[in-house]
Amino acid sequence: MKISTRVELGIVALADIAMNSQEGNTVSSAEIAARQGISQKYLEQIIVGLRQGGFVKGQKGLRGGYLLSRPASRIYLSEILNALDNTILADTYEDTENSGNDIRSSVNSCLWDKFNGYMRRFTEQMTLADLIKECKENSDQKANYMYYI
């Protein structure tokens, strides 16, 4: 599966905002861009989509930046994917004019429809908070490795 850079960086930006906006502090696009190695100009385009999707809200002023519009535990990955690229979780298209091709229909129903169903259920159950928790656990495990030369 190939996920667009827009979707990947949108999820990264949301995770960064969630992890760095504790106690109501805002997170600027410049801070996110610097931490994540993302072009700020491109990131700002992605944040527009995140604002339109209702995931972040902007705050203007000296200490301006972005905050999550609702708790990370109430933001589901399926919502993010649909807001940034509504084709990822879409059902496979079956050409009704050529539907006489039994192998093609079978492959669509036995493979792609099931795959899409699994993806949809997985992303409908996983929240941004779950993702952040797994990322933190992953980085904690990596920090515990000791290398000897």
Please tell me the distance from the alpha carbon of residue 94 to that of residue 22, in angstroms, as a whole number: 46
Instruction: Classify 61 in phi/psi space as left (phi over 0), alpha (psi -120 to 50) or beta.
Output: left
Q: Would residue 15 count as lying in a domain? A: yes
pLDDT at position 23, please?
79
Tell me the pLDDT of the chain (149 aa) as tens digits. 678 899 999 999 999 999 998 778 899 999 999 999 999 999 999 999 999 999 999 988 888 899 999 999 999 999 999 999 988 877 655 555 555 668 888 887 788 888 888 989 999 999 999 999 998 888 777 666 655 66
Nearest partner of 15 among 88, 63, 66, 52, judged by Cα: 66
Can you say how many angstroms the Cα of residue 48 is from the centroid of all Cα atoms in its chain?
14
pLDDT at position 147, please?
58
Q: Domain containing 62: what range?
A: 5-143
Q: Would residue 149 count as lying in a domain? A: no
The number of helix segments (H) and strand segments (E) in the chain equals: 7, 2
Q: Would residue 86 count as lying in a domain? A: yes
How many beta carbons lie within 10 A of that of residue 99, not counting itself? 11
Please tell me the distance from the alpha carbon of residue 88 to that of residue 103, in angstroms, as a whole number: 24
Q: Would residue 104 count as lying in a domain? A: yes
pLDDT at position 77, please?
95
- Return the CATH number at 95: 1.10.10.10
* Pair of tokens at residue 74: 């109430």
Has this prediction a pTM greater than 0.85?
no
DSSP 22: G
pLDDT at position 62, please?
80
Nearest partner of 92 among 72, 111, 73, judged by Cα: 111
Q: Would residue 108 count as lying in a domain? A: yes
pLDDT at position 104, please?
81
Q: How many domains does the chain divide into?
A: 1
Q: Would residue 148 count as lying in a domain? A: no
